[in-house]
Amino acid sequence: MDGNQPSAGLWSIAEREERLLAPYAMRGADSRGRRRPETEHPYRGPFQRDRDRVLHCAAFRRLSGKMQVFTGERGDYHRTRLTHTHEVASIARTIGRALRLNEDLVEALALFHDIGHPPFGHAGEDALNECLAEHGGFSHNQFALTLAEDLEQRHSEFPGLNLTEEVLEGQRTRVKHGKSAARLLEVQVVDIADSITYDAHDTDDAVKLGLVALEELSQLPLVRETLRFVRARSPRLDGNLLRKALVHDLIDRQVSAVLEHAGPRLAASGFATADEARHSDFRLGPDAALAEEKAELERFLYKRVYRHPELLRVRAVAQQQLMALFEVFRRDAAKLPVRYQRRAEQVGIERSIGDYLAGMTDRFCDQQYQQLVLGSSGA
Ligand code: MG
């Protein structure tokens, strides 16, 4: 390779994007770049490099030890935060590719989107938020930015991953929860893919774990309609195979609905650039009827799964562990790793403890609780 030009026979990133992407897709060449400028790579575009940085960072690998909805106590079938993330990336790429958006950016955003989750999922997040109530609170979306800009180490000269502004900005719109915030189409793709993914896999996990019965779920219009299609195609399916076919079709149906609704509107939009699309009032999503059916499924999952007594029990244990550990470190900062003792000098002891706890996997958090709170070796 010579400088930042690709060798003969290889496509440059700009050439590839020019041939494949829609006018309203974000282009690598138009990126607002990185806080610390870097020479472009000859054949890996800026968003591809972001994806690889996320994939190779410590916080990403730790997602394998973090629960999505169910803890490891319930076996090994259900999703972890890592497998959830891969499912989101896969569905997001399908949507992004079909709409001729920038798949590299979509993938980087998807792999990054949940990287800030603390141990024990939303229960852990709520516990940390309470611990830090007087110190700015805690949100997993914000913590993803702290990881990317501060805590991850890969350069000797500066902290963080030095991701592009587009990936960081996409994550910032998640922090603000602002549905009205101007978001690149690629960011919208990941948001909708995230929601399609958890609707489908939480349904799958809840049925597989026996928390809800398929018969009960089939009273919801979205599930009922989907099952009707599955049964028309394969009348003999039952048990596990029926459940798997339902999950497949739930995803397919929702992805198709998004594409059928958004594709023609985008084609007719006349958007000439990614920026034009971003600042318009176009929002990626399914048609209103499917959006309502989807909301109904989500209300059901909230009541019957996320608020299931067994999950509430796990939630209580997780919160107790995190809060007790928080107190242990606050009383005796010397128990923190040296790195977080030093960090406390910049961000305050509470925030530094929160950052340390948020980085833990479920199992490590449990071990630390056994050791530091209960005083056993945990062996
Ligand atoms: Mg997610």
Digitized pLDDT (tens) for each residue of the chain, 379 residues in all: 445 677 888 888 899 999 999 999 999 999 999 999 999 998 899 999 999 999 999 999 999 999 888 877 777 888 999 999 999 999 999 999 999 999 999 999 999 999 999 999 999 999 999 999 999 999 999 999 999 999 999 999 999 999 999 999 999 998 876 656 789 999 999 999 999 999 999 999 999 989 999 999 999 999 999 999 999 999 999 899 999 999 999 999 999 999 999 999 999 999 999 999 999 999 999 999 999 999 999 999 999 988 999 889 989 999 999 999 999 999 999 999 999 999 999 999 999 999 999 999 999 999 999 999 999 764 5
Q: For residue 198, report the distance from its CA to the centre of ligand 1, in Å.
A: 7
243 contacts 204 by C-beta, under 8 angstroms? yes
Q: For residue 79, report the distance from its CA to the centre of ligand 1, in Å.
A: 11
Q: For residue 113, report the distance from its CA to the centre of ligand 1, in Å.
A: 6
Q: For residue 202, report the distance from its CA to the centre of ligand 1, in Å.
A: 12
Dist. CA 220–CA 223, nearest whole Å: 5
140 contacts 125 by C-beta, under 8 angstroms? yes
Q: For residue 171, report the distance from its CA to the centre of ligand 1, in Å.
A: 12
| Strand-pair partners of 34 | 164
Which residue, among 50, 38, 34, 42, has the nearest Cα to 13 in the 3D structure?
42
Q: What is the pTM of this model?
A: 0.95
CA of 146: how far to CAs of 26, 52, 171, 294, 358, in Å?
25, 18, 11, 32, 11
Q: For residue 310, report the distance from its CA to the centre of ligand 1, in Å.
A: 22
Return the pLDDT at 73.
76
Helix/strand/coil for 5: strand
Dist. CA 296–CA 155, nearest whole Å: 47
Which residue, among 322, 306, 347, has the nearest Cα to 135 in the 3D structure?
347
Q: For residue 304, report the distance from its CA to the centre of ligand 1, in Å.
A: 20
Which residue, among 75, 70, 121, 127, has the nearest Cα to 311 in the 3D structure?
70
Helix ranges (H only) for the chain are 13-20, 46-55, 58-62, 81-98, 103-112, 121-131, 140-146, 165-176, 185-208, 214-217, 221-233, 239-269, 274-278, 288-301, 309-331, 338-347, 349-359, 362-368
Q: For residue 338, report the distance from its CA to the centre of ligand 1, in Å.
A: 31
Q: For residue 193, report the distance from its CA to the centre of ligand 1, in Å.
A: 9
Dist. CA 366–CA 344, nearest whole Å: 23
Q: For residue 83, report the distance from its CA to the centre of ligand 1, in Å.
A: 10
Q: For residue 86, report the distance from its CA to the centre of ligand 1, in Å.
A: 10
| Strand-pair partners of 2 | 5
CA 334 to chain CA centroid, nearest Å: 33
**Phi, psi (5° rounding) for residue 34?**
-115, 155
Q: For residue 58, report the distance from its CA to the centre of ligand 1, in Å.
A: 18
Q: For residue 37, report the distance from its CA to the centre of ligand 1, in Å.
A: 30
65 contacts 80 by C-beta, under 8 angstroms? yes
